[in-house]
């Protein structure tokens, strides 16, 4: 994956509105980056929240649709009902139980923005800040320096996220982070996909066929892991074999659909592995996900509020799905979970590849 020599991929830039920082009052022009390859695929990312604003992909008949939820302007991404559409989330993705953790004997209090829990980095996570950037060929490297104590987390953390599109229709996202104090880091992208087109709603989503390469999932109570790993065999969570969403989504216990961490493997590894495959048979579009992370949060948009998105399309419950590759949620509170602590001198690294295919 990721062979970019002699690539036909083109990269363009333009402006995407002005952001006035509510804390400093300083205004900044937001930049949008557009990658295009020779297969009719184009991807757009803005440096506000390092947010994917569009992924345009042809279907088996050559019809191009935008397959991600989002907005036509920056203002959409600033509104309260934006559910992290397309954003890079951190310092810690997913939930931390009771919005507190203890590290090396020190207790850290976080913002409670998901009931009693902290979600996706807190009130002003990485999705709500303007990132610096530099362009290297057809790569864009976004960087953000999170200060010691920001959102309650210890340590100055410098994060770089690199985006690149290949001729093989691979969107490669490469995350790196370092810290000055022991802290927690768990980054991911929160794109909402609908391979039928971002305006097709639940009717389009329910026709998707999903496969996830995991034989266990983390049991939760109120959205927070209990520490138990439950085998998926003989349950609705067994997506090791392809399942059409409309056949299983209403069978998830005590939920409106899937919002679960699937355990791709336990521990750490250095190489990419197969995470999932989602196919929309009617359009022929396919999304394969590869990652070096131990888990993936599969979410079927159960809480998307009814509102208008880009192109005047109506969004709501089950309008899209997310595949958030990451360390298992609330890992700091469970000794049997993969490590989420980053120490000075070490580097956090996470590579995710979304590969787009068209099946005739």
Q: What are the pLDDT digits (tens) for 250-260?
A: 999 999 999 99
DSSP β-ladder status, 259-263 and 216-221: antiparallel
Question: What pLDDT, on the 0 to 100 scale, is given for residue 271?
Answer: 83
Question: What pLDDT, on the 0 to 100 scale, is given for residue 7?
Answer: 81
pLDDT, tens digit, 9 for 90 and up, residues 175-234:
999 999 999 999 999 999 999 999 999 999 999 999 999 999 999 999 999 999 999 999
**Does 270 score more than 80 pLDDT?**
no
82 assigned to a ligand binding site = no
Domain spanning 10-358 has what CATH number?
2.70.98.10
Contact, 292 vs 332, CB < 8 A? Answer: no
- State what percent of residues in the chain have pLDDT above 90: 93
* Average of per-residue pLDDT across 154-170: 98
pLDDT confidence bin for 6, thresholds 50/70/90: low
94 assigned to a ligand binding site = yes
280 assigned to a ligand binding site = no
243 assigned to a ligand binding site = no
pLDDT confidence bin for 3, thresholds 50/70/90: very low
- What is the distance between the alpha carbons of residues 280 and 298, in angstroms, rounded to a whole number? 16
- What is the distance between the alpha carbons of residues 100 and 112, in angstroms, rounded to a whole number? 9
* Average of per-residue pLDDT across 88-104: 98
191 assigned to a ligand binding site = yes
Task: Tell me which H or E stretch contains 77.
Answer: helix 74-78
Q: Domain extents for the chain?
A: 10-358
Average pLDDT, the chain: 95
Question: What pLDDT, on the 0 to 100 scale, is given for residue 146?
Answer: 98
6 assigned to a ligand binding site = no
Residues designated as active site: 190, 324
Beta carbons within 8 Å of 296's beta carbon, 6+ residues apart: 212, 214, 261, 262, 264, 275, 276, 289, 323, 324, 325, 326
Q: Is the peptide bond before 176 cis (omega within 30 degrees of 0)?
A: no
327 vs 186, 187, 193, 269, CA distance in Å? Answer: 6, 8, 21, 12
Q: Which of 75, 277, 91 is nearest to 182 (CA)?
A: 91
Encoding tokens for residue 27? 């205004």
The pTM assigned to this predicted structure is: 0.97
Question: What pLDDT, on the 0 to 100 scale, is given for residue 267?
Answer: 65
Encoding tokens for residue 140? 């864009």
Which of 1-15, 116-130, 330-344 has the lowest average pLDDT? Answer: 1-15
* Average of per-residue pLDDT across 124-131: 97
Question: What pLDDT, on the 0 to 100 scale, is given for residue 5?
Answer: 53
Question: What pLDDT, on the 0 to 100 scale, is given for residue 337?
Answer: 96
């Amino acid at each position: 994956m990721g062979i970019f020599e002699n690539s036909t991929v083109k990269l363009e830039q333009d402006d995407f509105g002005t952001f006035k920082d509510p804390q400093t009052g300083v205004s900044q022009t937001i930049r949008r980056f557009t990658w295009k390859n020779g297969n009719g695929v184009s991807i757009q990312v803005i440096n506000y929240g390092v947010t994917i604003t569009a992924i345009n992909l042809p279907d088996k008949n050559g019809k191009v649709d935008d397959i991600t939820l989002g907005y036509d302007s920056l203002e959409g991404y600033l509104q309260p009902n934006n559910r992290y559409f397309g954003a890079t989330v951190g310092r810690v993705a997913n939930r931390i139980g009771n919005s507190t953790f203890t590290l090396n004997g020190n207790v850290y209090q976080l913002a409670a923005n998901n009931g009693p829990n902290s979600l996706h980095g807190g009130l002003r996570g990485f999705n709500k800040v303007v990132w610096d950037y530099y362009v290297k060929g057809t790569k864009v490297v976004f960087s953000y320096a999170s200060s010691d104590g920001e959102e309650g987390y210890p340590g100055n953390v410098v994060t770089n996220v690199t985006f690149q599109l290949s001729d093989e229709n691979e969107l490669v996202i490469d995350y790196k982070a370092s810290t000055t104090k022991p802290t927690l880091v768990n980054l991911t992208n929160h794109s909402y996909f609908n391979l039928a087109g971002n305006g097709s709603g639940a009717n389009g989503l329910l026709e998707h066929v999903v496969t996830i390469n995991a034989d266990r999932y983390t049991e939760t109570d109120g959205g927070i892991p209990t520490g138990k790993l439950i085998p998926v065999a003989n349950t609705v969570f067994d997506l090791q074999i392809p399942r059409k969403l409309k056949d299983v989504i209403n069978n998830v216990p005590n939920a409106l659909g899937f919002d679960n961490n699937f355990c791709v493997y336990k521990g750490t590894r250095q190489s990419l592995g197969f995470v999932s495959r989602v196919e929309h048979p009617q359009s022929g579009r396919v999304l394969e996900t590869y990652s070096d992370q131990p888990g993936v949060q599969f979410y079927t948009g159960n809480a998307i509020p009814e509102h208008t998105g880009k192109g005047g399309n109506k969004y709501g419950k089950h309008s899209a799905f997310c595949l958030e590759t990451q360390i298992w949620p609330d890992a700091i509170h469970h000794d049997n979970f993969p490590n989420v602590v980053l120490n000075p001198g070490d580097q956090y690294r996470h590579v995710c590849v979304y590969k787009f295919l068209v099946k005739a």
